[in-house]
Structures are given as C-alpha cells and as structure tokens.
Amino acid sequence: MTPQRYLLAQAYNNAWANHRLLKACGELSREELDAPRVSFFPSIIHTLNHILTVDWLYISALEGNCLGSAAFDPEIPCPIFADLDREQRAADRRLIDHCRSLDEKTITEDIRIPRDTFVQVEPADRLLMHLFQHQIHHRGQVHAMLSGTCVQPPQLDEFFCKGEDQLRQQDFAELGFTEAMIWS
C-alpha cells in the first residue's frame, strides 16, 4: 500500500467512525448533548464542535486557504446537533477528497498554519496523521461520555478488515461508500 492509499483509507475510516458516533449522538436529546460531563471539554456537543473546528483549521490549511484562528470563532459554531452533523459530514468529504488528490509531491509538501504569534509549517503527511489522531482522541472522549447516557456507545475500534465487510455494509450504504472506492 502506498502512503497515498494509506492516508485515503484513513480518511474513509475517519468518516466511517464519525458517522457511527454521530448516529449514536443523534439519538440524544438536546439536554443530554448539552449536559455537563467529565472530560476535556464539558459536554458532548462541545467536544463534537471541537472536533469540527479543528477539522476546519487543518483541512483548510491542507487545501491552501487556512482559516487560522477564525476556525475557532465561535468556539461552538454548531450548538444544534443537525447543523453539526451536516458540517462534520461535509468536512469528512473534503478530507477524503483531499487525500484522494495526494500524489508523491503533494504528500510531503509544506503546509502553512498561521498561529497567533507564528506560522507553523508541517509536511502534509505529518499534518494528516496528526489530524487523524486528534479525531481518534476526541471521539474516544465522546464515546466515554455516551456511557453516561441512555444511548449505547457504538463500536469504533474496527478498521477495514477484509473479512468483516458485512459488518460495515449498512453504514457504507448510508455514507455512499463502497469497498471499491477505498481499496481500488
């Protein structure tokens, strides 16, 4: 598997995990989404918004038009779950499209991320690995917070094992994904 194919598979896996988590969170009431919980961010909706705003920052940087600190203003851009769900799915599609466009040159090109007092420069592949890890980290927090609700947390630790394609068939149909899109 080439590095480009690996990052594309990670982008699809990221979208699939977000789909599963957001589907579960969509069963919560507004009160449950907003309820104070023990985690780095104080609620499920706040944590989900953090995932989204960091996606906006890094995806815009990868696309060459970095939002910078504007990605975080406001801190919770989508207090309504339906809006958050729509925006996260759009960000996931942008990330997939970006990873699909990578080639031997662009996979290591420098990406510029304006910070408050400096411009951070990172190779694209390392920034993508950071973005995927960031999502995994905060999805895990939401997963743990779901344990304190009436909604059972979804399984998120499956990857794309060849022999388990039937287990993801319904999710993939909902997302418009096929095995061939990822592996061909």
Q: Which residues are annotated as a binding site?
A: 50, 134, 138
CB atoms closer than 10 angstroms to residue 159: 11
Annotated binding site for a divalent metal cation: 50, 134, 138
Would the CA dihedral through 13, 16, 20, 23 be positive or negative? positive
CA distances from 153 to 4, 20, 22, 54, 183 (A): 31, 9, 10, 23, 28
Runs of H (alpha helix) within 42-184: 44-62, 81-101, 124-146, 165-175, 179-183
Instruction: Enter the DSSP assignment of 112.
Output: E
